[in-house]
Structure 1
């Protein structure tokens, strides 16, 4: 091309031959396409956060937003806390190793580190988080949730042959970090790794522990005293460790929406800033040592926006405490949601986790756990660990996500949603502050009640199938083969751990251990905790000494953990148990009337409706007469018959067919697919027992039918 032509081509506006369309013109075209259906009803979605999700955004939506002019590495850090984002510092592959024993966790870590694992992410079991030795805990507490850690021997087996100079830590110790930290620091030093080489997070989250369990092993003031002591010690001896955790998994898994989860995170972070300031630490010492951990759900764009909003709001909070720009930078770990994972059609969980992981990456998380697809059933095996771990590698090496800094930045939709999520979360955060802060709000039951209301709203949407869970309340596969389940035998584990504890106590000097624990109960310092560990003190003994001479521990209404699919999973499990008990699956016969074009839509709807409850559906190509349909229905032996046709044909079909069936078998439940409003009373009088339709509560209908037909014992 001649140079003068190249210049002309370069100067000419791209697509200048097309007149730009306005939003008003687009909306008029959209409304025409909808053919009379209201725009707001069809195209605008109200989220659980009460945000009106628009079908399209444009430049005017973000023109007045102040954060859109910011850059990565600069306040308010909405785009990233790092100037180069993940380009030079990729997100950490922080896969949880939820095994109950040190040997199992160590074996998994040794297998996974050469294959991409970069962070030793160790969830702890309930006994450890409550500061109990396993032989003093209930069997159900031992191994539930993760690792049983009680002795220095446990810690040494856990860390054996792991290079902690390179491998980051991520440990949420619950209400108190010092016992867990002392065990791990001592074990690491035995391997030649000094505390100053440890990096990552080994922290406590007293308010998160209180919300999750409803109680603490010590008073909140004592927990704060110990948290301040652990933080001071780490500042001097382990400066690369973050010591404070703000985890919102408990709120997310109880059904909270994104704004509630973020508000609870902010309120918890503020509570820790205040508590540790009262104990002599400055905001610039406290804030950089806080590790935020959150769950990322299935609403991709909202979740990306929420993570961006979290950094922006936390920077605002720390700035209000006069923290410098370094202190304003949020350290963020994300895990894909446990709430969204299912027990049925489990391989769909791989797809769910992929979308959630992409949202975490796009939102700028610095470390990520991607759920094992069989997480809802129990412990992962090597295959499920590998698939989850490899997803990190694919996102990094094949998708090259680490090469872009804040890729959603500038998106009209994401920027607008970032602002809206931030506004909603800030409003809820201020309401918690007006209650007196996070601890007072938990005592009053405020977040519990708000999240319970959201959870009820979510479950209602799932029950009515307005919120779809593929493979569960929609498109279930009744012939699927369930995965092999690796669940913990808590009684056996409890007995084995009791033997471990007895052996550990036999190997120590009882007099030295007792003296060290007495000293610890008086000093309550990290140095004294380390000395007690060296003397052979156990987790329960350390926690007990640290809680000596304490005031009453708080108790609140706990936030129960749930999963979105659990209601329908219970129906499926009930139907499966019935099948095992009787040798046959509960069945529904479809009385399809007329040609396929007449009955197919409602037959397909009915098949999916009943399959969600574990019912086998007996279908056919349709019947010409009610006599044929009744004969086939009775011959099938099904306890439920569903009539499928059109509203126009029902007046001639329903009374006659229902009478023919019930005259022979009055116990048969007759269901009508559809809800012809004007004729409901007539059809009920004719013997129709149930109506299924788009607005029906699928879960309640199926549960009622299971009880009626003896499927549920």
Structure 2
């Protein structure tokens, strides 16, 4: 044969799938039910999410019946994105956070982030700055968190050699953004760069309703905060049209335990309140809507988070158009962050994997700006390593994984499109329920929102307790050999002294009479020209006023007029972490919980349940005493009593339990009456009572309440 002809590639023959007739869902279901051998289809193959949405095991073209999917990116309801070119023309902004307390330290951190690949400044402020209180930590705060700003010099130190006309910015400014905006703009004006404001982009945003929900109160009347929001929108529309000044924080509700439906509903209900308030204050809907950015957290359910961002864009476009807005103002600006709620303290490097999955869902869902939280955020201040890892996750997604294309990669997926539609419908209904309460503020006052979110939170905690939800490294697969991350504790006295010296040193260089004159005119300017108000604020800061002084004047002696039950932030594993920490603290005080494994019979008879019991107990870092396997009840009971353990777990098989358990449990109780006796495995109903009567205190198995069992053993071991 001609070797040259043999080497030439031969075309594949035409392939036809005509011999495989299409299968209907009903036919597939019948086959699945047969494979289940009598187990209920609904229980085994249907999954109900925290959003109340039931996930099917299979999605087909028929799943899309009734859905309109012929829209294009950048068109219609923005389901497929607000830009026709997606990320191809403009990738999402990388906005890694900087929260160093001292402005000069944050300046260095921002420069490192920008040099390392970030392209948007993301500043996290401390509570004193967001609420306009004294910058000193005289209230005994154990660990200052966030950037402290008070004077024009602070902003100068923060922004040294940085240019906001080249990089975007993202800052949550607190209940009002007016003072911080004036500080930033005043600095630009003092350097003769006022014209650069027109090139600023991003968000320096206020969320008074979010502040009320998170903290339970606000520093001054809500009407005052709404007035300030309207004034900042008026000002930015002319001076800095690329800068948004209102930030709707869905993360407040996510961190409280809310599901995706509730996060969307609360965010939209908040935005609706702002649109109405701005309309009353003379702003048209396009101006108000264009000034808003939405912040969402990305949770653990990968496809749900993709659907959440896609549904959010459609939801917002419908709201804006219902208010009479135009197409451009109906485009949602999304800032997404990986979840704080799902971060764990133990086995913290698993947080890197969580963050990667969550960031991936945010990109596929179409976020405009992304923040990947540090894996050690719940443990310590950021390190060079943890910052680099978080930043590089985003850079890899853009540069190596090529996620800047295609546009709307989830578009057309039977599963994601159906889930998006269900999430949109459910969140719209949830928003209407909030509206029926009188709107977001009244729904918070009545406690309706808090009760709804707490119900989901308790459901999450319960599923963690029984380990139907698994947090790797915490309630499942704990790493008992891990060493805590090393960290440094800030020198609070030194930081407080530096801040005080900086503020006082700056004030000494200013004219007190001039400063007071400018402060006296702040309130008067609110009633006049909106641009005049911000101009006066800028001049007041340039005269040497502190943010605290400006906030006090704006409050005009009034305190907040609203109080609600706060939606406190949580992490889903915090109860298990507290359990393990108690064990560690008890060990330092000489109190230990030890568990003896009474393994019965040869290795193959007890190994499976012995391994399960070991992992079960190590969740709380209990010391487990293993054994090779006992041939007799007497030998097992003698060893268990001699161990002096807090508890003994009997490990064998269901077939051997009826004969082994009653005499063994009885013998252990006779030798050590206070010892807790547990049985590994769910007991057969007909034998359970006899086991309990013999002395078995509880049973550990895949459906057992792991948290409750471990907590009871801690009490038995003398760990309060």
State the TM-score bracket (shorter-chain normalisation): over 0.9
Output one character per residue of 1:608-667: Cα deviation in whole Å (capped at 9) or x when no partner. 211111112222332211122223323433221100112221222122222332333222
Q: What is the rounded CA distance, in whole Å, between the counterparts of 2:71 and 2:709 in structure 1?
A: 52
CA contact (8 A) 2:97 2:122 kept: yes
Alpha-carbon offset, residue 581 of structure 1? 2.2
Indicate the residue corresponding to 2:379 in structure 1: 377
Judged with a 3 Å threshold, the aligned counterparts in structure 2 of structure 1 residues 514 and 190 are, in CA distance, closer, same or farther, namely closer
1:117-196 to structure 2, matched below 5 A, reads 117-135=118-136, 138-140=139-141, 143-144=144-145, 146-190=146-190, 193=193, 194-196=196-198
Helix, strand or coil for the counterpart of 1:69? coil
Of 496-505 and 440-449, more deviation after overlay is shown by: 496-505
1:681–1:567 Cα change, 3 Å: same
- Give the 3 Å change call, closer, same or farther, for CA 380–483 of structure 1 in structure 2: same
2:535 corresponds in structure 1 to: 527
State the distance in 1 between where 2:307 and 2:477 align.
30
Aligned residue number for residue 693 of structure 2? 685
How many Å apart are 1:450 and its aligned residue? 0.7
After superposition, the C-alpha distances for 1:469-502 in whole angstroms (9 at most, x for unaligned) are 0000000011101111344455654454333333
534-543 or 126-135, larger mean C-alpha shift = 126-135
Q: 1:478 to 1:551 in 2, by over 3 A?
A: closer
Aligned to 2:355: 353
- Counterpart of 1:221 in structure 2 is 223
- Cα pair 2:593 2:713 within 8 Å, conserved: no
Q: CA deviation at 1:21?
A: 2.2
Deviation per residue, 1:20-49 (Å, 9 max, x gap): 222222212222222221111011011111
CA distance in 1, matches of 2:594, 2:570: 29
- Give the match for residue 265 of structure 2: 263
Hey, what's the Cα distance between the residues in 1 that align with 2:611 and 2:185? Answer: 61
Compared CA separation, residues 188 and 33, structure 1 to 2 (3 A): farther
Asked if structure 1 preserves the Cα contact closer than 8 Å seen for 2:338 and 2:355, the reply is yes
Select 1:21's aligned residue among 23, 37, 58.
23
Instruction: Name structure 2 gaps, 5 residues minimum.
Output: 527-532
- The CA deviation string for residues 503-537 of structure 1, in whole angstroms up to 9 with x for no partner, is 33323211111111111132231111101100111
When structure 1 is superposed on structure 2, of 181-190 and 169-178 the one drifting more is 181-190
Q: Is the 8 A contact 2:681 2:699 kept in 1?
A: yes
Cα offsets for 1:643-693 (capped at 9, x unmatched): 011222122212222233233322221111123233333222212222212
Aligned to 2:80: 79
CA, structure 1 residues 113+477, in 2 after alignment: closer, same or farther (shift >3 Å)?
Answer: same
What are the superposed Cα offsets for residues 88-140 of structure 1, whole Å, 9 maximum, x if unpaired? 11010011112222122111111111110111111111111111121386242
- SS of equivalent residue, structure 1 residue 295: strand
Please give the alpha-carbon distance, in whole angstroms, between the structure 2 residues aligned to 1:378 and 1:311: 35
SS in 1 for 2:205: strand
Q: Kindly provide the CA deviation profile for residues 226-251 of structure 1, in whole angstroms up to 9, marking residues without a partner as x.
A: 01111111111111101111111110
What number of residue pairs does the alignment pair up? 705
Question: Which segment is superposed worse, 515-524 or 17-26?
Answer: 17-26
Q: CA offsets, 1:268-316, max 9 Å, x none?
A: 1111111111111111111111110110001000110011000001000
Q: How far, CA to CA, are the matches of 2:372 and 2:482 in structure 1?
A: 24
Q: How does 1:110-121 map to 2 (within 5 A)?
A: 110-121=111-122
* Structure 2: distance between partners of 1:434 and 1:658: 58
- Distance in 2 of aligned mates of 1:627 and 1:549: 78
2:449 to 447, 450, 454: 447
Query: Which residue number corresponds to residue 705 of structure 2?
Result: 697
The counterpart of 1:394, out of the listed 365, 384, 396, is: 396
Q: Specify the alignment match of 1:541 in structure 2.
A: 549
Q: Matches of 1:378 and 1:269 in 2, distance apart?
A: 34
The verdict on how the C-alpha distance between 1:580 and 1:129 changes in structure 2, with shifts beyond 3 A counting, is: same
Tell whether 2:630 aligns with 1:623.
yes
Normalization by structure 1: what TM-score?
0.95
Q: Which runs of 5+ in 1 are unaligned?
A: none
Distance 1:656 1:598 in 2: 19
Other-structure match for 1:211: 213
Matched, 1:366 2:368: yes
When the two chains are superposed, the root-mean-square deviation of aligned CA atoms in Å is 2.1
Cα 1:489–1:28 change in 2 (3 A) is farther
Distance of aligned partners of 1:315 and 1:133 in 2 relative to their CA distance in 1, 3 Å threshold: same
Whether the 8 Å CA contact 2:285–2:323 is kept in 1: the answer is: yes
Aligned twin of 1:438: 440
